Structure 1
């Protein structure tokens, strides 16, 4: 089994905190002191999702490529596909389901107890079913619903379903040159900024697939271009990449420019070398990475509970001033990290082990389903 790339785990944690802060400073039925006016990079925190998509494509290859090649040689690609999807469902679904249930129970409870409690029209039975099956970003609805950050998890599930196909496509171009395919991905990322369509028209899928594929291309660069990686993991290049991303986030430059730097940043950290990797190997940052999925899915719950108490109990919708709002922001982040620690241990880890045990029972090989999943 390949060793974990600690730097990439840590950077996932930083990205999760970044996007959480982004959502915490957005006004929800209230005016918030302009924290992002003092820290412009907060306005670019939604790009964390793009980093996640690229990183996901890279990590899926890093973890599963050897098994994929072996199954392909043994003509057992269906077995690989089934085990891969089972592993991904065990990884992402339990926490998604838990947060969805909590979200809905909280809303229903307050709707019952508070006469003037408002439920968004987008949070209805139809969208709940879409969320339950994790298909709510597949073009079935034109907006985010329920636990809104989960739209990207739905989009990633779609990418997982296409993973072997994308691998075959990248492998085909690898025989000639990856440059044309890489250019297609980069152009598609740029095109997102001037093509006007929403989630209901496939924007989430479009965004995820193009960047997920770019991450897969990055893995092939990682395995076939060692000299390129050695250059990128040089201290100077790592500093330039990090400084460029930070400085550009202070500007109004096109998102695609920043996103284009994410892949070389990932590649520069892929061997856990360089000064930046040493920083990212610090234990607190690594632990943030471990609980990053929980941070990403639970921070909206923390925001919702806080917002409802502020509006319906304390009846305070106006700004409390910059200093107070910053203090509240710190408390929201701290609460999210504590809750994420809890959900990581008692939901993510436990349910993942439990589901993987069920999948290992080989239920799909029973007579009723044997014909559907017959080995090649």
Structure 2
């Protein structure tokens, strides 16, 4: 039997997801210094607030793998039992995911397509991602730019992780249907992801981290049932702190396997367990989680706008080494993400789900 946590939101995980999305912006700040897809003129140490955010500039891309792990945890928590008990159909499951992901994706894809045409009309290349042709447009429209059919990065390239998640949702639904063998199947898919990574790191890291996240949920549920919630929170918190102290203080280099397979699962488990103890802790973080998808998808088109504006005003790209420019960028990004969540994503979800619920004559 698949157990389930109580139905309240885990606000600490919402906050973590929102912060992870913003971490990606630090990792992608280097985009402003690319010439085409060449970052050779980029001086990493001159980026804004480098001393404070050196780790994010160097390894912020791993926040995407954290997304996968959080998704795996949440999906096993919210949907595994419902799927196995047939209380949610494949049509309903697919519609929920489509209505959540597709509207903002197609809007940002179209905006990037236009912006790249504007950019390439005044430059000898596109901004950072170069495979902006009809074939890759087709892949993007069908949310398939990271399924292995692509020949390069294209359009709003950060969508690659969402493209992989679409495949993960399909495998997740299939392994939950029988209602048994869920753990061995999840372990098997973890091992497959580990085998594929890093050569096929998009699909490999997706499989590895999503199913590690799912196994983390099941491990937390087992631990709480046998050790109690308070003791579980204490043990997981100590283990989490120990793992991160080792990584940040005693490890000579960052092992991506250690981060993905140890640090991220312990962080998620500890925060979820603490959130179970104090359900309203960091409730304000729900908003940060709500806008995480928007901030993740909007940041690249906003970078093109900032680059075009800088060029038009006659500034050198070195202006993006200035801290005030980064602060302005984050302020605009968060404002746009709030507007997107309220006026695009939520209305689109309600509209699409209402149409499905409305009977036809």
Aligned to 2:21: 16
Q: RMSD in angstroms over aligned alpha carbons?
A: 3.1
Residue 357 of structure 2, aligned match among 350, 357, 360: 360
Q: Counterparts of 1:178-217 in structure 2 under 5 Å?
A: 182=187, 185=190, 188-189=193-194, 192-193=197-198, 196-197=199-200, 203-217=201-215
Looking at structure 1, the residues matched to 214 and 236 of structure 2 have their Cα atoms a distance apart, in angstroms, of 22
Question: Following TM superposition, by how much is the alpha carbon of 1:84 offset from its aligned partner in structure 2, in angstroms?
Answer: 0.5
Choose 24-33 or 39-48, whichever is displaced more.
Answer: 24-33
* Contact 2:8–2:279, Cα closer than 8 Å, also in 1: no
Aligned to 1:218: 216
Quick check: 1:41 aligned with 2:58?
no
**Do the aligned partners of residues 238 and 222 (structure 1) sit closer, same or farther apart at CA in structure 2, a change above 3 Å counting?**
closer
Looking at structure 2, the residues matched to 228 and 59 of structure 1 have their Cα atoms a distance apart, in angstroms, of 22
Q: Secondary structure at the match of 2:89?
A: helix
Looking at structure 1, the residues matched to 161 and 289 of structure 2 have their Cα atoms a distance apart, in angstroms, of 18
TM-score by length of 1: 0.79
Q: Secondary structure at the match of 2:166?
A: helix
* Contact 1:44–1:249, Cα closer than 8 Å, also in 2: no
Residue 71 of structure 2, aligned match among 46, 53, 56: 56
Aligned to 2:266: 264
* Contact 1:5–1:272, Cα closer than 8 Å, also in 2: no
Aligned to 2:34: 28
Give ranges in structure 1 of 5+ residues lacking alignment.
Answer: 73-78, 198-202, 367-376
**Do the aligned partners of residues 183 and 15 (structure 1) sit closer, same or farther apart at CA in structure 2, a change above 3 Å counting?**
same
Question: Following TM superposition, by how much is the alpha carbon of 1:95 offset from its aligned partner in structure 2, in angstroms?
Answer: 0.6
* Contact 1:232–1:267, Cα closer than 8 Å, also in 2: no
Q: Secondary structure at the match of 2:86?
A: helix
Aligned to 1:373: none
Q: Secondary structure at the match of 2:143?
A: coil
**Do the aligned partners of residues 45 and 171 (structure 1) sit closer, same or farther apart at CA in structure 2, a change above 3 Å counting?**
farther
Q: Counterparts of 1:90-169 in structure 2 under 5 Å?
A: 90-111=99-120, 114=122, 116=123, 118-119=125-126, 121-167=130-176
**Do the aligned partners of residues 229 and 126 (structure 1) sit closer, same or farther apart at CA in structure 2, a change above 3 Å counting?**
farther
Question: Following TM superposition, by how much is the alpha carbon of 1:122 offset from its aligned partner in structure 2, in angstroms?
Answer: 0.7
Q: Which has the higher contact order (CA 8 A, sep 6+)?
A: 1
* Contact 2:76–2:214, Cα closer than 8 Å, also in 1: yes
* Contact 1:55–1:212, Cα closer than 8 Å, also in 2: yes
Aligned to 2:11: 6
Give ranges in structure 2 of 5+ residues lacking alignment.
Answer: 1-5, 36-40
Aligned to 2:303: 303
TM-score by length of 2: 0.82
**Do the aligned partners of residues 108 and 347 (structure 1) sit closer, same or farther apart at CA in structure 2, a change above 3 Å counting?**
same
* Contact 1:58–1:218, Cα closer than 8 Å, also in 2: yes
* Residues paired across the two proteins, number: 339
Question: Following TM superposition, by how much is the alpha carbon of 1:160 offset from its aligned partner in structure 2, in angstroms?
Answer: 1.0
* Contact 2:196–2:204, Cα closer than 8 Å, also in 1: no
**Do the aligned partners of residues 19 and 106 (structure 1) sit closer, same or farther apart at CA in structure 2, a change above 3 Å counting?**
same
